A and B are shown apart, each in its own frame.
Chain A
Amino acid sequence: MTTDLAAPPPETDRPAVLRDPLQPHLPEGMHPVERSYAWVLRLRQMATWIPLFIGALVLDNFAFEGQPFRGLATAVVGIVGLAAIIFVPQRIYRRLGYLLGEKMLRIVRGWLFHVDTIVPFVRVQHIDVARGPLDKLLGTASLIVHTAGTHNSIVTLPGLSPERAGEMRDTIRATIKTDWQ
């Protein structure tokens, strides 16, 4: 067991102003993922909010003609969507980190809901390296580790460079040996 798996140190004071928006905020020893992953997240937010915004525009212009609250939907969706696109990606990015220990993979993620997952290599059943269209656009890949569990059986680590993902897959694979539980 590596010492990295101990409790994280108490949250040190961060410089509040002029800090890098993508400055990782992770427990000690954890590695951040590729910076371009923040843009994958941003594009995903856009893919959610822009159609909603267009929908709201259409509604306001055609369905709510002459209604007193006309324009409200567009305004709300526009503001919330813009906020989500601008503020959310780096917050998710900052909190996403991983550590490839000797015997286990640890993944920390989540902005509002922190999830800190550990998968011992001996428990891994098979491994995927997946790349979606956005991943290809921005040069990232996801490492997906499958365990035999019914709960959390699929552990995903997004935002790796494809080379790194392949490397990690090979590292994990090399440790998998037969043990019939």
Chain B
Amino acid sequence: MSEAAEAIMEEEMPAPERLHPLTMLTGLGGILKSLWGAIAASAFLLYSGNQTIAIAVIGFALLSGFIQPLLRYLSFSFLVEEDEIVMNSGILNRNHRSVPFDRVQDVNIEQNPIARVFGLARVKLETGASAGKGEEDGIIDSIALDRANELRDRIRRHRAAALPALPDRGEAMESEQARPAVFAMDARRVFLAGMFNFSLAVVGALFGLMQTLGDVANFNFFSRTFWQESFAPDNPLVIFILANQIMAVIAGLVSLVLVGLATGIIGTALREWNFRLDRTESGFRRRRGLLTLTDTVLPLKRVQAAIYLDGPVKRHYGWTSLKLQSLAQDSGNSGDHVVAPLARPDETKEILAAMDWRPLPEDAEDWHRPSPALAMEGLLSLLPLFIGGIVLLFFHWSGLLVIGAATLLSIGALLDWRWRRHRVDRDRVLIRSGWWQKRLVILPLAKIQSADLRRNFIDRWFGIASVRLGVAGGKGFSAHGVSGLATADAFRLRQRLLEGSV
């Protein structure tokens, strides 16, 4: 079987190229690094009189340092064909990778100092595929520099031939005249955004800290001694607080809220100060920051999806926020680029218009809801918790807490089901979810990379399925998709989504 395959491979690829033989030496840096450990170990061994083992350790380290590049040299070959490059690698696990030139976004040529001495270069073909987990797209490590340049020119020529009339891409920054900003936030708006960023997490953490350590450090807003010792004893407020424990509790709550507000406002002001979003030739340019100024260019071609997010308070006062999911990751911990931290819906409409995206449809029709079976499944999954709580109740009152928590979670499951919606709006799909923090994703169908239809065995009892969409960019663990559709609907939806994609 395998012989036949090899034969076919041979036929297809008349003369695969190998890496440059000196590649085996480019690993020298790594070898030296690994040797330090071995030298230390063998010095210790020599000191304790184990000469043979010391020599063996050094020998083994040297050998393994050379063997790895040798094996790589022996097992790696690549072949440049008319419109693709084929790479064969691996010893036990043979891997044949073909990278079409049409998919190569960028060719990186890297040279570390040792490679420069030998005139070698490491070629990295970036395809935009996020192989993730440290696995790289297409790396040829290493070939002669001349060959690397040749390869890069070859790929560039191919791309130039395929794209006759692409305007020069270097215009990202300039040509931004005195056009008005698409969206900007003044100090008042930033302050307001900070209020909405009231951090429950900080409050929770502080409360927890006070309960555990507060009494020792005398930093507990809820204890009378804190108020007694921190302020003048004849302060009327303090006297009032001391008068009854209830007031101490209230004062504690007020202080916690103030701390939460302050952290929210300070954090937001540092980040969003002088927020300004401009439209440039190729996309958006975002400037913000108080101490650390950031200036981000966001080419529209890289935008994959737009995401509206609003919590209950923001929503109540008629505010919302808008993020763009892009191929590049935003700085900081959020993967998506925030283009409007706090905006009126009309302002976000303008941002969408600046991207040549249609506004959200006004009519409430045509939104589809998931099957009630999704809610049933959620409730069913909480059943063990209820049973556990009831059983626990026979032994201890804390069973009530478990039952209470299960009840809250059940209500959450129902509300979650209640607020899920999706709608195919011509060339894009809109997905709503969340009942506390509501989320609306606008995903152009052309940005869908792949579509999974998933059913586990419980889903199959209920006859439902979920559609998971592969979209580029964004945080690693927040896939877009629609859950809990009746199986036939899920198949239909997927077909509809992919029709737009092809």
Write the residues of chain A forming the contact surface with B, with a CB cutoff of 8 angstroms.
Answer: 1, 5-8, 103-104, 112-120, 122-133, 136, 138-139, 141, 146-155, 161-163, 166, 169, 173, 176-178, 180-181
Contacts and interface: CB of A to CB of B under 8 A. Distances in A.
B301 A125 contact: no
Interface in B1-55: 1-2, 4-5, 8-9, 12
A146 B447 contact: no
B492 to A, nearest CB: 7
29 contacts: A1-B495, A1-B499, A5-B495, A104-B502, A112-B457, A115-B452, A120-B498, A123-B501, A128-B98, A129-B97, A130-B90, A130-B93, A130-B94, A141-B5, A146-B129, A147-B449, A148-B449, A149-B450, A150-B132, A151-B471, A151-B479, A154-B131, A162-B5, A166-B9, A166-B12, A176-B103, A177-B162, A178-B163, A181-B447
Interface of B: 1-2, 4-5, 8-9, 12, 84, 90, 92-100, 102-103, 127-132, 137-138, 159, 162-163, 166, 301, 327, 446-457, 460, 465, 468-476, 479-480, 487-488, 491-492, 494-495, 498-499, 501-502
A69 B278 CA distance: 72
B491 A149 contact: no
B11 to A, nearest CB: 10
Nearest to B161: A178
B96 A129 contact: yes
Given A6-B491, A149-B130, A173-B98, A1 B498 contact: yes
B118 to A, nearest CB: 29
Contacts, number: 187
A118 B450 contact: yes
A118 B451 contact: yes
Q: Is the interface of A mostly helix, strand, loop or mixed?
A: mixed
Contacts of B95: 128-131
A176 B93 contact: no
Contact of B1 (A117, A124, A139): A139
Contacts of B473: 150
Contact of B127 (A114, A120, A126, A169): A126
Q: Is the interface of B mostly helix, strand, loop or mixed?
A: mixed
B474 A126 contact: no
Contact of B96 (A120, A128, A136, A155): A128
B470 A152 contact: yes
Given A133-B92, A180-B301, A126 B99 contact: yes
Contact of A116 (B454, B476, B498): B454
A180 to B, nearest CB: 7
A173 B476 contact: no
B470 A131 contact: no
Contact of B98 (A7, A104, A126, A147): A126
A139 B453 CA distance: 30
Of A5, A115, A139, A150, which is in contact with the most chain B CB atoms at under 10 Å from its CB? Answer: A150
A119 B450 contact: yes
Contact of A128 (B97, B454, B455): B97
A162 B4 CA distance: 9
Contacts of A5: 495, 498
